[in-house]
Amino acid sequence: MTAETNPVLGWAGFAFGGAALLVSLIVFLAGPFAPQQSVGVSLGELAAEIVSSASRSMAGLEQPEPEVAARTIDDFLDIGIAVAATVAILFGIAALVRHESRRLAVSGIALGGFVIAFQVFTFVVAMIAGVILIAAVVGSLSDTFGDLFGG
């Protein structure tokens, strides 16, 4: 059998790209799967941490060592999505090199690239929203620490 009649790598790239896209959409629409604190609790802890950090800095005390966050199922899903998308791109490139079906190879590359772009886009949008939210919290703390936060 030739590569043209048996496009194994093309189909593998397409399958990995499709699986990565499916899992990515499931994580985006149904996630997070690990237990999460409510937004109010998280914002309250953030505000309290900002206040205590500012107080320690003003008193000349050292800041505590950063804590290592434990990995959750969401982290492993994100890593798995990225790996599957990368494998789809690599299989697609290998299929092109082997002169397999061009449509299958390009489909695998396109699906893998789209999944990576989708993950990066959602991450950037979440970071922008987080920065806006943190700026609002810091702005609300300006009443408490007027000169420190520019208020």
Q: What confidence score (pLDDT) does residue 1 get?
A: 43
Angle at 24 between CA 113 and CA 15, to 5 degrees: 60
The pLDDT tens digits for 110-143 are 999 999 999 999 999 999 998 998 888 777 777 6
The pLDDT tens digits for 70-114 are 899 999 999 999 999 999 999 999 999 999 999 999 999 999 999
| Tokens standing for residue 26 | 């499931």
The pLDDT tens digits for 31-82 are 889 888 887 788 788 878 877 887 888 888 888 888 888 899 999 999 999 9
Q: What confidence score (pLDDT) does residue 12 get?
A: 96
Report which DSSP code applies to 146. Answer: T
Stretch 16-28: mean pLDDT, rounded?
A: 96
R_g of the chain, CA atoms, integer Å = 23
Number of Cα atoms under 13 Å in the Cβ half of residue 80: 14
